[in-house]
Amino acid sequence: MIEVQLVDNQDNPIGVMEKILAHQKGELHRALSVLILNSNNELLLQRRALGKYHSPGLWTNTCCSHPYPGEDSFEAAKRRLQEEMGMSADLNFVFKFQYKCDFDNGLIEHELDHVFIGVTDDTPHINTDEAMAFSWVSIENLEESMKKNPNDYTFWFKIIIQDYRNKLKAYI
């Protein structure tokens, strides 16, 4: 059983809940998103595996997950980058934001997402339970694709790119 850290609106821990139950009830919990750039200033995207219980087959940031209860988000980001994409990089915390999304399957993603950025030219070795493909793209091509094909991307990734572009500028 995988558990997530429930938090209040200020990101203070307030409890622990089984991950699937938190998504069924729409409870606010801590999450993380990692964005990896290469030396060409291209962003590494992953296409979520078809077996994922929400957003299967959609393109998203390099990796996204939840820290274990009591686990530091920075350490969790490094761990998940290795587990999902088979790579490591020096990561920098950039910002956090809160979002809520109701999915067609009845699940509710209600997360306080910690966003990290790193740089590496390493080749990903994807965990096929997590991702079915990867692609390096320029931010300009990504933004154009998001405008043309918004349903190809995860809800939270569109928020990161569209609403927080200025906070990412120092890194891209």
* CA distances in angstroms from 128 to 31, 32, 43, 147, listed in the order given: 21, 20, 20, 28
Q: Return the domain boundaries, the chain.
A: 3-168
Report the chain's mean pLDDT, rounded to a whole number. Answer: 94
Strand, helix or coil at 30?
strand
Catalytic position from the list 64, 84, 109, 130: 64
> How confident is the model at residue 102, as a pLDDT?
94
CATH number, domain 3-168? 3.90.79.10
Q: Can 109 be counted among the known catalytic residues?
A: no
Contact 93, 78 (CB under 8 A): no
Residue with structure tokens 């962003």?
43
Q: Can 64 be counted among the known catalytic residues?
A: yes
- If 0-12 CB within 10 Å is exposed, 13-18 middle and 19+ buried, where does residue 39 land? exposed
Q: For residues 172 and 154, what is the distance between their CA atoms, to the nearest angstrom?
A: 20
Give 93-114 pLDDT, tens digit per residue.
999 999 999 998 899 999 999 9
Catalytic position from the list 42, 84, 109, 111: 111
Give 17-75 pLDDT, tens digit per residue.
999 999 999 999 999 999 999 999 999 999 999 988 888 899 999 999 999 999 999 99
Strand, helix or coil at 68?
coil
